[in-house]
Structure formats: C-alpha cells, structure tokens
A and B are shown apart, each in its own frame.
Chain A
Amino acid sequence: MRRLPDNRLKLTAIRLAACCLALVGLAGCGEPPQTVFKLNSVELLKQEKLFLSGGQSFDDRYSTEIGTILTAFFGTPDQPRVPKVLPEEDPAAEVLSQEKLDAAAGPVLSTLGDNGYHGKGLYREHCAHCHGITGDGAGRTARSLNPYPRDFRLGKFKFKSTPLRSMPTDDDMMQLLVKGVPGSSMPSFRGLLKSDLEALVDYVKYLTMRGQYERYLMAELSNLEEGEPLINLTASGVQDEDDPAKEKYLDSMFDLVGEGLVEDVVERWIDTDDNRSEVPDAPAAMLLDHPDHQALVDQGRVLYYTGGNCAQCHGESVAGNGQTETFDDWTNEWIKSPGVDPFAPATYADFTAAGALPPRPILPRNLSSGEFRGGGQPEDIYLRIANGIEGTPMPAAATLESDQIWALVAYVKALPFIDVDQRLRHKSVNDNAIAK
C-alpha cells in the first residue's frame, strides 16, 4: 500500500479542517428563525427624508414607542391579538377571529391528518418564506422572485371584486389562496383544509391592519413637537381634564386609537361584501360559436387602440411592451422620496440598506400569453378592466359602458390565437379608419 508523503498528509488534514470549520461557520452564521416583527424602516426613512432636514433621523425612542403601541394592540408573531378597543361590539372583533389568528400564528406545529393539514403556525409554514414574518413581502426568498411577493402593510390588494381603494372580501382572498397567481411565484393552496385557508385569510388581514396602523403612526411623527411622545402615558393619571397635559393625552388617544386604528384601519375591513362590484351578464355573442362573436371581437379590437387606450401600456402588438418604465405603488411609495432615482442605485442605497427590495419596473401583461394573474375567466377579466388593478398603473375604465368592456374581454380572450403580424395589421387598419 502506498503512503502519502507527510507534507501532503498534513495539507490534506488542513484542508479537511478548513472545510469542517467553514461548514460550522455556515451553520452558525445562518439567520436564526425569525420570531419577531420587523420595523417598517423604509417608511420611517421616507418620513425622515420628507420632513426632517439635513439627513436628520427621528430619535430612536420613537421607533420603540411605535413598537410599543403596535405590540399593545396587535401582540407578537407568537401571540397575535385582535386589536380590540371597545369592551363590547368592537369593530375589530367583526373582522378578525382570535381563534383563527392563533391557528395561523406561532411556530410550525401542523400535523398531517386524514384529509389534510391541521394547522398551527400555518403562516410560518406556508407564507413567511416569501411574504416575511411581518408581511413585508421581504421573506428570505423574496429577493430572487419576480414579481416580488406582496407587502401587505400598504393595505393594497390587486385582485379583488371590489373597486379601487376598497379592501377585498374574504372570498376574494380565499379565491386567491385556492387558485394562486398564474405567472407569479404564488402557488395554489388548494390542498389545505378550508378552515386552515380561513385562518390564513384572517392572518393576512391582521398583518395588513398592523402594517397600515404602523404607517399611520409613522406619519404622525411629523406632527409632533421636539421631544413630544406619541402618547404621554404619564398624563393619564391627571384628574383635571382642563390640564393641558391631560388634554393632550386625551387628544392623542382619540387621534391615534379612535381615529387612526379604529376608523382608518379596522373599519375599512367591515362589510367588504357590500362593496363587491356587480358583473353584468355577458352578451350572448361572447360564446365562441355565436354568429356575432367575431363582430364583438372586432369591436373590442377597435376599442383596444382607441377608446380603451389599452395599447398605450399593453403595446401595439399587445405583448405588454407599451410602457415599461413605470413602477407599482409598493415601489412608488419610497422611490418618490427626495433625491431618489429608481434607475440610479447609488441614490437609493440607504433605502435598500433599510430593507427595501431593489426597484423593478412593473410590466403590463403580455395579453398574447393567455396567462392572467387575476384569473382568466371572462368575469375576472371584466373586473380587471372595469375596476382597474389596485397599486398598479392599470386604471379603472370609467368611460366605458359594460357592453364595450365585454367587447374588450372578447378581444383579450381571442388574442392568444391571433399571431403578431395580424395584430399589427389590425393596428394599421385602425389607424387608417381613424384617419378617415
């Protein structure tokens, strides 16, 4: 048997030791499981840039005070709370269930039952790696996904049956969990029990409310005088209601809790079913074998290039290449801060250091792909056109009648079957018709 020379043996041993140490290092340096909420540092930085001069920062104690107020109402990732204010008939109790929050929160303890998962820690098991523990859309896998996972804290949802600036219904959120979002990294969770899905819906609503309230609190900082706390707890014991300190305490409680939490955040989620947009019955010509179907498609084609103004963003070839340098609201939120240019990374390095994901322009849907993120049923597409898509440049078609919207739906549904040369010929035919 051949023996290795001593110096080679030593070298091999050193290499082996180096590899072992590196592995230990890798294991030791890995991020431990995150069980705490994150501060919305990006929003705080934005507020500082908007309201403080000369690169100043808010005092650190404001971050702690915001954390304290949020924790008082919303609890922690392991012990979430329905943010109740009133002892009875509290609005928050109408929209969130403590039992469901408890099923979705905490560490992963789900077990595989006879017919699916029986949940505990469902959010951390299924959602947190993309959406983050805080629902900030910055989970560990977020950076490598396109589009980025949704940041719930802005309180905007793209795919819903309700109009712009209103919250989605529980059923909208349930549908999204069941169907997933085609063309994105959001999968279908059809395999989960209905009770588990309902728990996740409530938990996403909870994270959204918490994030909305955090933003409200941060916006309040600019109204404070130097050194003034958001809530002066020490003044609560003052008996004289005319005492300025007591007055300020009461004002802040009504502003921050009564108005900020209850009216601005929680009540927006009440009776969302009442805001649902009606989809009028589709015309018979929507049927592919109807004699007037082609005429409906042609009407939609004309609208695409004219009254619907669709080509401006979706492109003349419908490939989604008309407008490629706009951003969604989640990015616009901070890139519109003073001095930030989304195409110059050096101008926003402080935002990415604070946790913002590098800005990416939002691309209009390539309508020839036949893939629709908000659902490909005619009714889904009707809603996207009629109501627009929240948080994106896609506007609501306020000037179109329902029969025109149905014509656009017919055209959009037909597009994957029309080749690009023919689409561009359509465009030139339309231009000639308009010129005449």
Chain B
Amino acid sequence: MGVLNSSTKVCKSILLFFFVLMAGCYQQPSAENLQYDADAVEEIRSQVKAMDWE
C-alpha cells in the first residue's frame, strides 16, 4: 500500500514537471522572422546606386 502511494506521488511529481515545462515553453503565435539573401542585398544596393533615375 505504502509503495503504491509513493509511486502515485512520483507520477504526480513527474506530471507536474512536464506541465510546468510545457507552460514555460508555450509561445504565443507570432509572425515568422524575416529572411533575406545577404549577397542580393548588396547587389540591390549597388544597382540602385548605378541607376539613372532621370
């Protein structure tokens, strides 16, 4: 009986651990991070400089 009681408590503790862990890991939905191509960034900058806007 005592063993059963003890293992129930162990199970409860483990469940509590996972619950707290999951609560901490929850992240609100959010937009994705902006991705960019660093080489193309430089290419655009140099092409804009070279453009004849007249």
Contacts and interface: CB of A to CB of B under 8 A. Distances in A.
B1 interface: no
A143 interface: yes
Contacts, number: 115
Contacts of A7: 2, 6
Interface residues on B, range: 35 or more
A37 B29 CA distance: 15
Given A68-B37, A68-B40, A41 B32 contact: yes
B36 A68 contact: yes
A71 interface: yes
Contacts of A258: 53
Given A22-B17, A41-B31, A233-B44, A71 B36 contact: yes
Interface residues on A, range: 35 or more
Main SS of chain B's interface residues? Answer: helix
A121 B9 CA distance: 49
Given A7-B2, A30-B24, A72-B48, A39 B13 contact: no
A316 interface: no
A15 B31 contact: no
Interface stretch (A277-285, A321-329, A348-356, A423-431): A348-356
Given A18-B14, A64-B37, A352 B44 contact: no
B6 to A, nearest CB: 5
A42 interface: yes
Nearest to B44: A72
Given A18-B13, A233-B44, A39 B32 contact: yes
30 contacts: A7-B6, A19-B20, A22-B21, A25-B20, A29-B25, A36-B33, A36-B34, A39-B31, A39-B32, A40-B31, A41-B32, A67-B37, A68-B44, A72-B48, A73-B44, A85-B48, A85-B53, A87-B49, A134-B31, A134-B34, A138-B30, A233-B40, A233-B47, A236-B50, A253-B47, A253-B48, A257-B51, A258-B53, A355-B29, A355-B30
